[in-house]
Amino acid sequence: MQVKVGIVRGGAVGLTAGAALLAAMLSGCAESSTDGEDQSGSSPKAAASAGTTAAGAVSGGTIGAAGSACELPVSFDIAEDWKTKGIDAEAETSKASKGSDGDLSGDLADAFLRQGPVTAACEIDAKPAGNIGFLRVWTGKPGDGDARTALREFVAAEDNVSGEKYHSFRTADGAAGVEVEYLYTSKLLEETKKETALAVGTPDGPVVLHLGGMDTEEHEEMRPAYELAKRTLRVR
């Protein structure tokens, strides 16, 4: 389990109630149904595959622009049935700091909501589409460094990572971006899984998109949604 920065790997242990709730919000291990079926009777895996074609994930709309579920310095398509929620890190930290543990809860909230030079801004949940995991958007500020530096610092802040492979790419509107694939090892669970992230620079600061998942299998099943976001990514 990682409690230093970023995302809690499998639940909150030894945290205050307020911090535990915040950890649940940012947990990559969202609850799945106990019988493996949704309300329609179809399996989660079938639901996930329903929104995927040979060409990749089916678009469920675009986010990033003013008035969308998440207003961001970039825009991109999200996969069909994935659920989007904006994150106001400043408000969450302020609310936590007013809890029973005061500054301690505020510090924990800040640790969960910030990773390296960027702050959590948007969470796109795969559970409605049948997978356990999230595509998350993290944003920085002007002067927080170029895309490659921001991405390296983001990965370094996660801890327990290995096998990083960086490469460059171009967004849909021709902006330069950097992508990384790497392995994350949970010391608590003694398991290793794949993770992927990319970063682009914008006039408002660097933006990082990160795809985790409960395990490597879930990561790979969600990969088409990540590729859709990457393929349609534009700097606003």
Where b means 16+ CB within 10 Å and e means fewer, 121-130 reads bbbbbbbbbb
Q: Is residue 137's pLDDT more than 60?
A: yes
Gap between the Cα atoms of 114 and 106, Å rounded: 12
Residue 46: per-residue pLDDT: 42
Residue 3 in this model has a pLDDT that exceeds 50: no
As beta bridge partners, residue 196 has 181, 211
List, in sequence order, every residue forming a beta bridge with 56; answer none if it has no partner.
Answer: 53
Helices (H), strands (E): how many in the chain? 6, 13
pLDDT per position as a tens digit, 60-115: 999 999 999 999 999 999 999 999 999 988 787 667 666 555 454 545 656 679 99
Model confidence pLDDT, tens digit, residues 165-198:
999 999 999 999 999 999 999 888 889 999 999 9
C-alpha to C-alpha distance for 33 and 208, rounded to whole angstroms? 30
- Domains of the chain from N-terminus onward: 44-88+115-235 (3.40.1000.10)
Average pLDDT over residues 206-216: 96
Percentage of the chain surpassing pLDDT 70?
A: 69
The residue whose two tokens read 């970039």 is 74
Nearest to 159 by CA among 26, 1, 23: 1
